Chain A
Amino acid sequence: AQSVAQPEDQVNVAEGNPLTVKCTYSVSGNPYLFWYVQYPNRGLQFLLKYITGDNLVKGSYGFEAEFNKSQTSFHLKKPSALVSDSALYFCAVREGTGGFKTIFGAGTRLFVKA
């Protein structure tokens, strides 16, 4: 069965600095990996996904993520954080041949200070 871990409950970063939100996963086959963001009082929004191809995936709002098969990681990154990036971030994994069941991590709260 697939699983996903987000080891940090919270990440604090100063505006303008680079940010990283960590995610590791476990699947029995090829993974499909996703990042979603949840702003206060709003629904979850899709940020980016890795299906196949280039290990560096670019998504919405300047975010990108790097797929590392050997480390089974899919860390979310942004070169320069904005205060408006403060939100709850979820990593999700779906087994490539297991249908549509998608498992989410516990979430990481990102605080960006001005």
Chain B
Amino acid sequence: GAGVSQSPSNKVTEKGKDVELRCDPISGHTALYWYRQRLGQGLEFLIYFQGNSAPDKSGLPSDRFSAERTGESVSTLTIQRTQQEDSAVYLCASSLDRENTEAFFGQGTRLTVV
């Protein structure tokens, strides 16, 4: 596609439920990132995938969070047993397989846990 696509754009879920967020990167971008942005705050690094290398999961806040990527395409971020503190905008970005290239961001998924 022309840009990074995320779905759903909005998600309201009950506390304790699992949610799955999806990201379609720009075609040909082998690097993919997930960030969390709480209301009025900065971007918190969660995880990134680089080609076929093992992902850098150092930013995942707890074992309730996990992410997968199928080859060099779609990625899903899963949050199990959601808590109210998980409410935030989850942003996905992708970039070319070069360290000096900028990332292109999706519009994000706004997650609200009630």
- Are A100 and B45 interface neighbours, CB within 8 A? no
Closest residue of B by beta carbon distance from A91: B42
* Chain A residues, CB < 8 A from B20: none
Q: How far is the CB of B106 from chain A (nearest CB, A)?
A: 6
Query: What is the total number of residues of chain A having a CB less than 8 Å from a CB of chain B?
Result: 24
Q: Contacts of A46 on B, CB cut-off 8 Å?
A: 102-104
Given A43-B106, A44-B91, A104-B35: A99 and B42 within 8 A (CB)? Answer: no
Decide: A90 near B43, CB < 8 A? Known: A49-B100, A104-B35: yes
User: Known contacts being A43-B107, A100-B95, is A51 close to B100, with CB within 8 Å?
Assistant: yes
Looking at chain B's contact residues, the main secondary structure is: strand
Q: Nearest chain-A residue to B33 (Cβ)?
A: A102
Contact of B105 with A by CB under 8 A: yes
With A44-B91, A104-B35, A104-B42 as contacts: A94 and B105 at CB distance below 8 Å: no
Chain B interface category by residue count: 20 to 34
A6 contact set on B, CB distance < 8 A: 42
A97 to B75, CA, bound (A): 25
Residues of B within 8 A of A (CB): 31, 33, 35, 41-43, 45, 48, 50, 53, 56, 58, 91, 93, 95, 99-100, 102-108
A selection of 20 A-B contacts at a CB cut-off of 8 Å is A32-B100, A34-B103, A36-B105, A44-B93, A44-B105, A45-B105, A49-B100, A99-B48, A99-B56, A100-B33, A100-B50, A101-B56, A102-B33, A102-B45, A103-B45, A104-B43, A104-B45, A105-B42, A106-B41, A107-B43
